Structure 1
Amino acid sequence: MIQCKRVYESAEEGDGYRVLVDRLWPRGCRKEVLQHDEWLRDVAPSDELRRRFGHQAGEYAAFRDGYRRELAAHPEYWQGLLARAAAGHLTLLYAARDTEHNNARVLQDFLEDELERRGSSSSPVCYAGEL
């Protein structure tokens, strides 16, 4: 299971492995206070893409598509997250105020799509003996 949480929300027992997925450290949040297991700067959107988005809801579709392209081009950045999600609970931490239009949500959807794609084989060869 993959969930997203703002870094300013309290950690809970069910969060599982907690990963900060922002390129920049969150404002007003001391490193020794944030309960997290890992900070993956590289999995975050590029600075250029992040600046173009500017957290404007009207730019979200273009941001989402661009970020998904960046993720697809660099599986080495998110492969470990995929393994964590498959093994148990994974919480993606982010600092954005908008809880629906942010990089963690895009990453969550991307990882869930990857898990689904890898989990079920729909190749016709797999069904050869079943017809």
Structure 2
Amino acid sequence: MAYTYREVYQEGTAMLDFLPDARIDARRLLEHVCGTTVQTLLADPDRPVSPGEYEKYLELISRRQQREPLAYIVGEQEFMGLPFRVSPHVLIPGQDTENLVEEAMRELTDGSRILDLCTGSGCILLSLLQYSNSNSGVGTDLSREA
């Protein structure tokens, strides 16, 4: 049986209805599986989803039903406007981490050198370097998986 983006999205949303962000999670998982964007889903909701994509989508929905973080499922988390790869071996950056980066930026002067220990995804160091002037930095972590 052939499914469309709309049908698969509605099914995923229904399966995640106990989660506060069911619609967002279902959409992000569908985007991830189909390698597309929300604009494509909105512009062509009747576009077919392949049987392989459908099966993969249901697998990811099942993982989300078990409350596995969405960022771990898709392997990415946006932080301060930048995409970062994440896995269960690193912490998912959130608002507290963003506050830390913003506070650190207030303390940096041009030409600062930054050392990020236990860097994980690297989001702190890379965000500081992206949004500051003429700074350099090194990040390191004991975990090979990080």
Same fold (TM over 0.5): no
Higher RCO (CA 8 Å, separation ≥ 6 residues)? 1
